[in-house]
């Protein structure tokens, strides 16, 4: 845990990693606090506003029962367990139980379509999947294509046939369970990247990743935790931002979390939720903050008092930072990280100046720099690639079943992010651009390869290139340049058909909001699409 000092330099000098040889996330975030029988862990609100509360003691009893049920169903240490659920008690319990068994959790976004789910479940070789009735049709569509997927568990009492019922497993399982003895370096979860340079890659993380995350949570949340803190995020727990930036570190510190099941983000409802439950800390993606900024005079309707808001994914800008002061009554602390090595740069308004446009400084405990292609740090003011030096407890173990991609991620001891930046004389990092074709839309990091692959499955399409097109509200939107098959007539109806084709197969945030039919695409001599030319064209158009 970070020690609060008078300056950034003092905090860095005083920091020391404490990583035990044996460590289990499930025990740490749950069992550690269960001896305090009435210590609150979770406040859950469903779509209808009904509220349930869970203590750490209750979570221990329930997760032990679920762990016994999973073992009885044949799940063993090292098996992969897909978790296709939104924010809910069942999601948290499945994570805890998986770690206690020594299994590897695979968080999955509920907006994924059948194709996206099939790829991730197949690639991870998942043996078990926990989901709900709403997502069951997609699972049934692909189950026969997944011979290794032996166990499907359904929440909400909708299990039938060869499926298992979540609550039934808990009711029949014993509350006594001896967690597996896991080392800090043992694998714990696979979180899939956005697929920027090919199919999505599974970033395999060890149990120690939570301990490695702690400074990156404590720092931008002004030395979290303090007495009375209560954490919430609208970010889905399927993403590293919701899971390991909020849920796990809060429970590591014994701090309760608010969870809410919602189909889409509603800014007015966000203010209501914050006021209703007395939320003091939040991770808010920039798009969510931009939407909340549109709400006029929220304090007239909502009585709230927050202590910290952290945000990352794109630069907030001076206007949004000022809104944070005026409307939320605090400094919004920006931070930076990625799925493989998360939360390594950030701001802490309590001990450093906030420089609008900057991502902040290296978070204590992490060695971060701007490096050239050889892995040599460059001078201040020079643009290079953000690199994080190993060893580092927050760093991933490697890409699942992809040693070549893992090797290419490093130059010497530097893990390369693919993001370009420059560092000033005071150690502040300034984002410059993306080295690859990553699209940032509404806080999501989206890769073009998976979308292109999906669009190519449409019977009318022969070639496609996907890029990010500038957008004032979402930062970028997904745009597809499409070459149609001979004889196919273009038109608005076909555009809508292709959009829906992608939306139901991948995810709602990945479908192309704009489609342009073209006769050809810019290509290299070796037949590779030059996306940067298309992106440059879009930027020039939007400027005009």
pLDDT digits (tens, 9 = 90+) for 481-520: 999 988 999 999 999 999 999 999 988 888 999 999 999 8
**What DSSP string runs through 208-252?**
THHHHHHHHHHTTTTSS--TT--EE-SS-TTSHHHIIIIIHHHHH
pLDDT at 466: 92
20 phi/psi in degrees, rounded to 5: -70, 160
Count of Cβ atoms closer than 10 Å to residue 497 Cβ:
13
pLDDT at 162: 84
Query: Is 365 inside any structural domain?
Result: no
Query: Is 157 inside any structural domain?
Result: yes
pLDDT at 104: 98
Query: Which whole number is the average pLDDT over 288-305?
Result: 92
Task: Check whether 317 has a pLDDT greater than 80.
Answer: no
Task: Check whether 536 has a pLDDT greater than 90.
Answer: no
pLDDT at 525: 45
User: Of all residues in the chain, what percent carry a pLDDT higher than 70?
Assistant: 97
Structure-token pair, residue 265: 């983000």
Q: Which of 247, 193, 244 is nearest to 30 (CA)?
A: 247
Which tens digits make up the pLDDT trace of 338-364?
Answer: 999 999 999 999 999 999 889 999 999
User: By the 8 A CB rule, do 17 and 2 touch?
Assistant: no
Of 444 and 163, which is predicted with more confidence?
Answer: 163
User: By the 8 A CB rule, do 158 and 113 touch?
Assistant: no
Residue 15 binned pLDDT confidence (cut-offs 50, 70, 90):
very high
Which tens digits make up the pLDDT trace of 246-279?
Answer: 999 999 999 999 999 877 889 999 999 999 999 9
| Cα distance between residue 516 and residue 520, in whole Å | 11
Provide the pairing of β-strand 164-165 with 202-206: unpaired
Of 327 and 445, which is predicted with more confidence?
Answer: 327
Query: Which whole number is the average pLDDT over 157-163?
Result: 80
Structure-token pair, residue 414: 């530097």
Least confident of 38-47, 85-94, 342-351, 454-463: 454-463
| Cα distance between residue 347 and residue 259, in whole Å | 25
Coil, helix or strand at residue 7: coil
Query: Is 354 inside any structural domain?
Result: no
| Cα distance between residue 257 and residue 304, in whole Å | 17
Q: Which of 259, 243, 258, 253 is nearest to 95 (CA)?
A: 243
Residue with tokens 């930046």: 421
Structure-token pair, residue 313: 């994914």
pLDDT at 440: 83
User: By the 8 A CB rule, do 202 and 229 touch?
Assistant: no
Residue 205 binned pLDDT confidence (cut-offs 50, 70, 90):
very high
Query: Is 226 inside any structural domain?
Result: no
Q: Which of 142, 163, 182 is the last residue of a domain?
A: 182
pLDDT at 196: 45
| Cα distance between residue 389 and residue 370, in whole Å | 11
| Cα distance between residue 494 and residue 194, in whole Å | 26
Query: Is 527 inside any structural domain?
Result: yes
Task: Check whether 301 has a pLDDT greater than 80.
Answer: yes
Which tens digits make up the pLDDT trace of 367-398?
Answer: 999 999 999 999 999 989 999 999 999 999 99
Query: Is 108 inside any structural domain?
Result: yes
Of 3 and 97, which is predicted with more confidence?
Answer: 97
278 phi/psi in degrees, rounded to 5: 70, 40
Helical packing angle, 492-505 and 448-455, nearest 10°: 120
Of 69 and 521, which is predicted with more confidence?
Answer: 69
Query: Is 62 inside any structural domain?
Result: yes
| Cα distance between residue 41 and residue 54, in whole Å | 6
Query: The CATH number of the domain where 483 resides is what?
Result: 3.30.300.30
Residue with tokens 């939570």: 210
Provide the pairing of β-strand 257-260 with 231-232: parallel
Which residues, in sequence order, are CB contacts of 297 under 8 Å at separation 6+?
Answer: none
Task: Check whether 197 has a pLDDT greater than 60.
Answer: no
User: Of all residues in the chain, what percent carry a pLDDT higher than 90?
Assistant: 78
pLDDT at 526: 43
pLDDT at 342: 96
Structure-token pair, residue 31: 């069992």
User: Over the chain, what is the mean pLDDT?
Assistant: 93
Q: Which of 34, 38, 36, 40 is nearest to 57 (CA)?
A: 34
Kind plus residue range of the DSSP H or E element containing 484 = strand 475-484
| Cα distance between residue 420 and residue 433, in whole Å | 5
Query: Is 51 inside any structural domain?
Result: yes
Structure-token pair, residue 147: 């011979």
Question: How many domains, in total, are found in the chain?
Answer: 2
| Cα distance between residue 533 and residue 513, in whole Å | 19
Task: Check whether 366 has a pLDDT greater than 80.
Answer: yes
pLDDT at 85: 97
pLDDT at 444: 83
pLDDT at 157: 75
CA distances from 79 to 126, 300, 492 (A): 7, 51, 46
Which tens digits make up the pLDDT trace of 392-417?
Answer: 999 999 999 999 999 999 999 999 99
pLDDT at 450: 80
Structure-token pair, residue 227: 């007495």
| Cα distance between residue 261 and residue 316, in whole Å | 26
Q: Which of 165, 182, 199 is the last residue of a domain?
A: 182
Q: Which residues constitute the domain of residue 121?
A: 24-182
Structure-token pair, residue 141: 């569509």
User: By the 8 A CB rule, do 101 and 69 touch?
Assistant: no
Query: The CATH number of the domain where 101 resides is what?
Result: 3.40.50.12780
Structure-token pair, residue 291: 């939407």
User: By the 8 A CB rule, do 172 and 67 touch?
Assistant: no
User: pTM here?
Assistant: 0.85
Which residues, in sequence order, are CB contacts of 13 under 8 Å at separation 6+?
Answer: none
Which residues, in sequence order, are CB contacts of 70 under 8 Å at separation 6+?
Answer: 81, 97, 98, 101, 103, 128, 151, 169
Least confident of 13-17, 114-118, 310-314: 310-314
- Exposure string (b/e) for 409-421, b if CB count within 10 Å is 16 or more? bebeebbbbbbbb
Q: Which of 182, 213, 237 is the last residue of a domain?
A: 182
Which tens digits make up the pLDDT trace of 436-486?
Answer: 777 888 888 787 878 887 998 899 998 899 999 999 888 899 999 999 988
Q: Which of 443, 444, 442 is nearest to 474 (CA)?
A: 442
Per DSSP, helices labelled H in 308-465 are 318-323, 403-408, 448-455
| Cα distance between residue 61 and residue 68, in whole Å | 11
pLDDT at 198: 58
Query: Which whole number is the average pLDDT over 279-304?
Result: 92
Residue 2 binned pLDDT confidence (cut-offs 50, 70, 90):
confident
């Amino acid at each position: 845990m970070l020690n609060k000092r008078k300056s950034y330099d003092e905090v860095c000098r005083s920091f020391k990693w404490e990583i035990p040889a044996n460590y289990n996330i499930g025990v740490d975030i749950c069992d550690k606090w269960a001896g305090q029988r009435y210590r609150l862990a979770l406040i859950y609100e469903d779509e209808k506003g009904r509220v349930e509360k869970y203590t750490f003691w209750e979570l221990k009893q329930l997760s032990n029962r679920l762990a016994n049920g999973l073992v009885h169903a044949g799940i063993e240490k090292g098996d992969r367990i897909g978790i296709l659920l939104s924010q809910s008690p069942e999601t948290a319990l499945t994570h805890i139980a998986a770690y206690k068994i020594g299994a590897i959790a695979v968080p999955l976004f509920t907006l994924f379509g059948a194709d996206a789910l099939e790829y991730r479940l197949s690639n991870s070789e998942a043996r078990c999947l926990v989901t709900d009735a709403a997502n069951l049709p997609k699972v049934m569509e692909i189950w026969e294509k997944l011979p290794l997927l032996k166990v499907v568990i359904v929440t909400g009492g909708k299990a039938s046939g060869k499926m298992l019922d979540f609550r039934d497993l808990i009711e029949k399982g014993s509350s006594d369970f001896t967690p597996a003895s896991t080392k800090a370096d043992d694998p714990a979860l696979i979180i899939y990247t956005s697929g920027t340079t090919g199919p999505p890659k599974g970033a395999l993380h060890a149990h120690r990743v939570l301990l490695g995350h702690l400074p990156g949570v404590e720092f931008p949340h002004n030395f979290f935790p303090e007495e009375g803190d209560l954490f919430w995020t609208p970010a889905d727990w399927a993403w590293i931002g919701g899971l390991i930036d909020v849920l796990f570190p809060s429970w590591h510190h014994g701090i309760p979390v608010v969870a809410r099941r919602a189909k889409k983000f509603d800014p007015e409802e966000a203010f209501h939720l914050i006021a209703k439950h007395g939320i003091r800390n939040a991770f808010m993606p920039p798009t969510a903050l931009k939407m909340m900024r549109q709400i006029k005079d929220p304090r007239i309707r909502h009585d709230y008092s927050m202590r910290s808001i952290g945000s990352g994914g794109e630069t907030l800008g001076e206007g949004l930072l000022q809104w944070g002061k005026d409307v939320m009554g605090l400094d919004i602390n920006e931070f930076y990280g990625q799925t493989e090595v998360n939360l390594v740069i950030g701001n802490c308004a309590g001990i450093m100046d906030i420089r609008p446009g900057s991502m902040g400084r290296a978070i204590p405990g992490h060695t971060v720099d701007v490096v050239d292609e050889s892995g040599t740090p460059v001078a201040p003011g020079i643009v290079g690639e953000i690199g994080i030096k190993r060893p580092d407890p927050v760093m991933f173990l490697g890409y699942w079943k992809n040693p070549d991609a893992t090797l290419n991620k490093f130059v010497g001891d530097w893990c390369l992010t693919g993001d370009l930046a420059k560092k000033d004389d005071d150690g502040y990092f300034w984002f410059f651009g993306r080295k690859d074709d990553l699209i940032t839309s509404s806080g999501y990091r989206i890769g073009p390869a998976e979308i292109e692959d999906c669009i190519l499955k449409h019977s009318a399409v022969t070639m496609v290139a996907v890029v990010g097109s500038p957008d004032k509200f979402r930062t970028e939107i997904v745009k597809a340049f499409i070459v149609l098959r001979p004889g196919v007539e273009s038109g608005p109806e076909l555009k809508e058909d292709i959009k829906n084709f992608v939306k139901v197969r991948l995810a709602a945030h990945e479908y192309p909001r704009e489609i342009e039919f073209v006769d050809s695409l810019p290509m290299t001599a070796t037949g590779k699409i030059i996306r940067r030319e298309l992106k440059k064209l879009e930027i020039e158009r939007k400027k005009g």
